Structure 1
Amino acid sequence: MERSSTFVKKYFWQGQTLSESNRNEQEKIPLNASFDEIFIIKHRRLIGILIPLVIFYAAWWSLAIRYDLFELFPRRYEMSLVMIFGATVAGMTTEGGGAIAFPIMTLVLKIEPVIARDFSLMIQACGMTAAAFTIFWMQIAVEWRSVFFCTIGAVFGATFGFTYVDPLLNASQKKMIFVSVFFSFALALYMLNTRKKRTTFFKIQNFNAWKAMVLVCTGLAGGVFTSIVGSGVDVLSFSMLTLLFSVSEKVATPTSVILMAFNSQVCFFWRELIMADVSPVSWEYLAVCLPVVVVFAPLGSMLASHFHRLVLAYFIYLLETLALIGGFLVVRPDLPLTITSICIIVTAFTFFFVVSRIGARMLDQMQKENQVKNVLLPSDIDMKPVFEV
């Protein structure tokens, strides 16, 4: 019984990675604190979920009553069920809700990739925004420079992709590109977790211009991929933060949630108001899924902040392996597309492997320089290693 309790505590209730200000706040409540201050400090998690929930529900119920959105549920309820799982995954992992919605909609429900892509962006703009608020309210540690510089690249990448790249691809190609790239990400994450005694940090060390440019380029590539399948900049950002810059997964994950929340809003704006090309079907799916995602995305974010990183990693391995198998079984790609998919997996894995090696060398060099100078890394929360595996 004791071993079981230790196992559960280690992997499923490890504890949240909070910023220094919130940690100090929770450790010591002022003696002269008022009732409302004490209530907020003690119930910060619950309040962080309820605030976006109340806002979104107030808006949804007003529209539902005015336009009778309830009549959509008998026809579109299957996506409400899908997004219970999808929104929880979006909050728990670096993958957005679109990473679940897109393959299920295109491979299982046989929905057009364009509709699935637009719905993924729309629902992420709501659900991941709710999760982002919870992260911000809980003051969970985030690498804000990654959010800023990746967003710069992602905005340009997404608009370019919507205009020039997406029209060049057919439905089968989009499906196989999705499962291939996301499976490559799972391989990269597995490779990351094979590095023993890996020191990780709460932010990018020795930040400079070239590292900012790497983040901009990461956002640019992720934006193009997002324009095709509805998500991608989040997983690329996560990969660069963890593999190249040795940032902890428990920081990279909420960082990617906030990044994807903002970029989903930008992409939603571009598709609906600039291109004016969002299908009414996508709006119908949004109407029946919004009440679900604004609850389960923040809940997933809160739960993930307690889980051991390996639990989240193995969860992603399973999801992407199933998606890849499902892609080949459902699409049944011809030989050229099969070869293309394999090439994408091999190329992406090679890229992630090289990035990982460079990141390991950068970390070794930084540690050697500090040893030569006889200087230790500052011990504050933003600089010290999170944990070693």
Structure 2
Amino acid sequence: MTSDKMETDKADTSSHVQGSRETENARQHLLPTQQDALRSLPEDAKWYKKVMVRYRRVVAVVIPSVIVLSAWLAVMVAHNHWNLFPEKYFMTITMVFGSLVAGMTSEGGGAVAFPVMTLAFGIPPSVARDFSVAIQSVGMTAAAFTLIYMQIQLEWHSIFLGTFGGIIGVVFGFEIVDPALTSSQKKLSFVCIWFTFAFALFGLNIYHKRRTFPKIPNFNWWKGIVLVLTGFFGGIFTSFAGSGLDICSFSVLTLLFRVSEKIATPTSIVLMAGNTSVGLFWRHVIMGHVDGECWQYVAVCVPVVIFGAPLGSVIGSHFHRLVLAGLIYVLDTVALVAAFAIVRPLSTELVLMSAGIITFGAVFFFCLTRAGTRFLRSIEDAEKKAANVGDMTELDKTINDKNKETEPNTTRMQLHENITEI
């Protein structure tokens, strides 16, 4: 009877701990300063302080929205661009779904915009790429402001080093890689790369009970090099597809370095904000190649993406992460099948290229997951070793304390024996 009760108590305790962990994982990680501000807010605080602290989520969304919408309205009124909506309305509808996906998942809005524009509407990949970069430089920057204002915890090593690598990668891609690819190669490369990202999510969901960290553990030089290279290749993907640094960063942080998804996702958003802003500057100012059609699409989509992404994050918080992962599986699979059905001529070279990208991506993410397992094991072994050393140190301290306590008694006994002999 006692044994059964102990087992029941143990099961209840385990369920309580697991439930607590799930609840904690469902929340965004706030910095300690924001947590302290929430706890220590006095009841008699001024109204604007209460608003800024208690309703920080609303304030964080309203501030960038008001700024962006004010600038957008000024341009639309000054140039009388309202006539663009009847002609370009299909992109407004597209970005309703694109912005919701961007808010609900770790993929950016370009993951919907680029394949829909190039495959469904036959828009040139260069225009679709420039649109994705431009619209994300608005939406992601607004989202980055929201995250920083709310003091959501971020992985700053990844942000600084990934941004450095991403700047080099996006410039290199614009100047070297993008001109070397044909229109069909860009379309198929995009859908294949995003399809391989599904392998990363699958690997992540297999080990959903794995141990995670709020930042990269024991940061050193080789981890910094990995982050720079991640940014570099992500920047190259952005140069011909309009996005890519976000999924590269998310995959490396979660699969290799075992950083929590709740920290890796906002980190990838901040990274993408910087990368698309630099990319837009390079394309529009340095190269001067942004097509006027791109700006027309941006004009009809700005009011949608400003509110769509925050709404998507709210909707996504009510779904289990496996449901959201399933949504990405479906979107990426549909895009891949549609690309092979629409792209013509579908040469043997394109088929082999696509098969090579998918195969390499699957193997790469498998190896990344295995490397992450070894990385976690090395961290745990180091912790066990440190714990053993700490236990030995504590034991030595206890022995020394006991020796100090027995030394006076031993001295008195020896003195008594000497007096007796005399």
The yes-or-no answer on 1:358 pairing with 2:358 is no
Q: Which residue of 1 aligns with 2:296?
A: 284
The yes-or-no answer on 1:104 pairing with 2:116 is yes
Q: Which residue of 1 aligns with 2:419?
A: none
**Displacement of 1:308:** 4.4
Unaligned runs of 5+ in 1: 1-6, 377-389
The yes-or-no answer on 1:337 pairing with 2:350 is yes
Question: Percent same amino acid at aligned positions?
Answer: 49
Worse-matched range after superposition: 338-347 or 321-330? 321-330
Worse-matched range after superposition: 130-139 or 52-61? 130-139
**Displacement of 1:27:** 3.4
Q: Which amino acid aligns with 1:129?
A: T
Indicate conservation of the 8 Å contact 2:27/2:262, yes or no.
no
Give the distance between the partners of 2:375 and 2:82, measured in 1 at CA.
Answer: 55
**Displacement of 1:15:** 3.1
Q: Which residue of 2 aligns with 1:129?
A: 141
**Displacement of 1:343:** 0.9
**Displacement of 1:306:** 6.4
Q: 1:43 aligns with which of 47, 52, 55?
A: 55
**Displacement of 1:149:** 0.5
Unaligned runs of 5+ in 2: 1-18, 390-422
Give the distance between the partners of 2:118 and 2:195, measured in 1 at CA.
Answer: 17
Name the SS for the 1:202 alignment partner: coil
More RCO (CA 8 Å, sep 6+): 1
**Displacement of 1:225:** 1.1
Map 1:52-91 to 2 at 5 A. 52-91=64-103
Map 1:1-389 to 2 at 5 A. 14-195=26-207, 197-304=209-316, 308-332=320-344, 333-374=346-387
**Displacement of 1:14:** 3.4
Distance 1:366 1:14, change over 3 A: closer
Give the distance between the partners of 1:43 and 1:196, measured in 2 at CA.
Answer: 31
Give the distance between the partners of 1:201 and 1:301, measured in 2 at CA.
Answer: 22
Give the distance between the partners of 2:316 and 2:150, measured in 1 at CA.
Answer: 13
Q: Which residue of 2 aligns with 1:379?
A: none
Give the distance between the partners of 2:163 and 2:290, measured in 1 at CA.
Answer: 23
Indicate conservation of the 8 Å contact 1:271/1:277, yes or no.
yes
Distance 1:138 1:315, change over 3 A: farther
**Displacement of 1:94:** 2.0
Deviations 1:213-270 (A, max 9, x none): 1000011111111101100111001110011000111111111111101110000000
Give the distance between the partners of 2:42 and 2:246, measured in 1 at CA.
Answer: 38
Name the SS for the 2:179 alignment partner: helix
Distance 1:154 1:196, change over 3 A: closer
Q: Whose Rg is larger?
A: 2
Q: How many residues align?
A: 367
Q: Which amino acid aligns with 1:225?
A: F
Name the SS for the 1:53 alignment partner: helix
Worse-matched range after superposition: 19-28 or 192-201? 19-28
The CA RMSD over aligned residues, in Å, is: 1.9
**Displacement of 1:310:** 2.9
